[in-house]
Structure 1
Amino acid sequence: MANPEHKEHLDGLDKISVVSYRSGITLFALSLLALFSAELLCVLEMETAPLLREWSIKCIAVSAALSAANIHVYDKKVRALIAWSSWLGLALFILLPTKEWLYIGFMFITFSGIALKESYCFKVKGLNLVPLLLISSVLVLWMKEPTILAPLVGLSGFIFAVLAIAKWKMPLHFDIGKKASYEI
């Protein structure tokens, strides 16, 4: 965990990295809320549901790439596990586009790791619950149950939105911490 009292000098690439990471978290929150809306529309049998669902899933993929490429975790094994889950999910997104539950499952591993990582820094209520909600969402995606999926992704999206707001309020150097502490 980064020490907020330590102020590391950030170069341009560091700043872009932090902004991209935070943008990924924000986009993920918005994507889950859009998926929540799509699943509700699906339950109501509205014609716009499939289009909104497809759009939200593509945005989840983009948010996974942004966050995975720019995650700041000192331990290289943990960093690799969190990041490579998204890369595998993105590869499956391209290779097996009909297996939503599979590629989203790998992307949700990344965001579960992010939720746990950020729970050390923020006291956002429910942040520790997010991995369970996301795992349950993958199971429900596999079962194709929009009435169960909607509240799971809606609650996850809300919690991540609260996290995103908290992240944008803090200085950029908080995300980086001490550069010398990163394992390469």
Structure 2
Amino acid sequence: MANPEYQDTLDVLDKLSVCFYRLGISLFAFSLFLLGLNFLHRMPQTGVSLHSSIVIAFISSIICAANIHVYSKVIRFVIQWSTWVSAILIVADYHWQFWWLTLGFIFVTFSGIALKESFCFRVIGLKTIPLFLAPSVLLIFFQWFEIAGILLLLSGVIFTFLSLAKWRMPLHFDIGIKNNYEI
């Protein structure tokens, strides 16, 4: 967690993990825009399909889950394992019948990340991310794609602000105090 008064020494792996984590957040913001536009039927000219958008969101969740820095073992477990459940669903759901459920577990990962980041940084709307992503899964399930598209675009805007804020701050802010991590 961010602690500007304290700066731990970062090795190469620490710096890489922070950069990958931030890359995952940026990639997820991009995937939210793709998904939102896809649901609003404004994507035919770009050739990016719904499946490709979900795969981009999935890849971003893997990148973030593998490189997240959270002191609490329980919170880290929930965030990481929701990504691995989505991986199982992607592999097991060969015909993409339950893609909305896969997306739901990806959204659990990023709702956790948004709440984690809201404790450290004052990004406008960050605490509302779970309130946008959770209903969007239900809206997708009930095939109310236009409303889900609007919620996903709003989430994309918020995650874009988070991404920009993360890339501007020093790397040590993401790591915090190494001794405080529960192993």
TM-score class, shorter? over 0.9
Q: Does the 8 Å CA contact 1:21/1:70 hold for their aligned counterparts?
A: yes
Compared CA separation, residues 12 and 141, structure 1 to 2 (3 A): same
The answer to whether the 8 Å contact 1:112/1:130 transfers is yes
Report the Cα offset of residue 98 of structure 1.
2.3
The residue identity in structure 2 corresponding to 1:164 is: S
Superposed CA deviations along residues 25-47 of structure 1, whole A, max 9, x for unmatched, are: 000000001111111226xxx74
Residue identity in the other structure for 1:124: V
Residue 51 of structure 1 deviates from its aligned partner by: 3.8
In the alignment, is residue 22 of structure 1 matched against residue 22 of structure 2?
yes
Q: Does 1:74 align with 2:71?
A: yes
Tell me the equivalent position of 2:163: 164
Secondary structure of 1:171's partner?
coil
The whole-number CA distance in structure 1 between the counterparts of 2:169 and 2:88 is: 33
User: Which residue number in structure 1 is paired with residue 146 of structure 2?
Assistant: 147
1:52 alignment partner in structure 2: 49
Gaps of 5+ in 2: none
In 2, distance between residues paired with 1:38 and 1:101?
14
Indicate if the aligned counterparts of 1:82 and 1:110 stay in contact, CA closer than 8 A: yes
Secondary structure in structure 2 of the residue aligned to 1:120: helix
Task: Tell me the number of residue pairs that the alignment of Structure 1 and Structure 2 aligns.
Answer: 181
Equivalent residue, structure 2, for 1:31:
31
Is it true that 1:99 corresponds to 2:98 in the alignment? yes
Scaled by the length of structure 2, the TM-score of the pair is: 0.94
Q: Distance in 1 between matches of 2:156 and 2:107?
A: 12
Superposed CA RMSD in Å reads: 1.5
Indicate the residue corresponding to 1:11 in structure 2: 11
